[in-house]
Structure 1
């Protein structure tokens, strides 16, 4: 589980850095730990565990948000879901700033799985812009490897 928590932390850190580069909140990952006290939905496959990620400017600040990274599913799906959650919080915190910004357009990029990998893409013209959510140096845990970049 420690490996999954570190990967979830790396995913959140990469997403937050990308949004900060486009004028988003200067949040950092404050914690990434197994979600306790939550029950797995009855339709969830066995082996699915949720890692709770908290992010914000400081642990006691009012801007702290929590999102969830899911293990036991394809890595790219987990990365896209986590990126989308963080994106929603950042856009809300900035009053609607498009984060991350789609180059040359006035809207945010959308997190999507394309060809088994997690990307930020233009929601209107996917061929206009496509950028990996994670840098290639971020290595997924063995259970999700090959499907997270």
Structure 2
């Protein structure tokens, strides 16, 4: 089955929201994709925006996936990073996925089509419960 960019971005964003453990639970409210021509080189660029909502209402950020599919690990990682940073910001640091044995949060990364959580200070330290 071939997913559209919007469906793929929605599923990835929701997975980050679920695995981060934000309370009250967050969900993807909407995903919109649009294309535009880059003014510098004329190439077409796709931007896919995700909006989130929780029990308190909509959040203030708008994470953006820039690319045509999730096979672009760089674009997917940038998007995942934006989603998680937004959750931490919107909850004033009250929500984050812990990094066992450390005081900082673990951090998500998207590699080879898979969402994983890692220690931002020690990549060899695995924060357990990989998804």
TM-score, scaled relative to structure 2:
0.74
Indicate the structure whose relative CO is greater, using CA pairs within 8 Å and at least 6 residues apart: 1
- The Cα offsets for residues 67-97 of structure 1, whole Å up to 9 and x where unpaired, read as 1112237432222111111111111122223
Going from structure 1 to structure 2, the CA distance change for 1:114 and 1:83 (only over 3 Å counts) comes to closer
Tell which deviates more after alignment, 87-96 or 61-70. 61-70
Offset of 1:101 from its aligned partner? 1.8
Does the alignment pair 1:89 with 2:86? yes
Tell which deviates more after alignment, 95-104 or 5-14. 95-104
Does the alignment pair 1:69 with 2:65? yes
Q: Unaligned 5+ residue runs, structure 2?
A: none
Going from structure 1 to structure 2, the CA distance change for 1:120 and 1:41 (only over 3 Å counts) comes to farther
Secondary structure at the aligned position of 2:63 is classed as: strand
| CA–CA distance in structure 2, aligned partners of residues 132 and 3 of structure 1 | 29
- The Cα offsets for residues 37-68 of structure 1, whole Å up to 9 and x where unpaired, read as x664636x94531111111126x925353211
RMSD of equivalent CA atoms: 3.3
| CA–CA distance in structure 2, aligned partners of residues 41 and 120 of structure 1 | 36
Q: How many residues align?
A: 128
TM-score, scaled relative to structure 1:
0.67
Alignment of 1:119-130 (within 5 A): 119-129=116-126
Q: Unaligned 5+ residue runs, structure 1?
A: 136-149
| CA–CA distance in structure 1, aligned partners of residues 112 and 6 of structure 2 | 25
Contact 1:118/1:132 (8 A) holds in 2: no
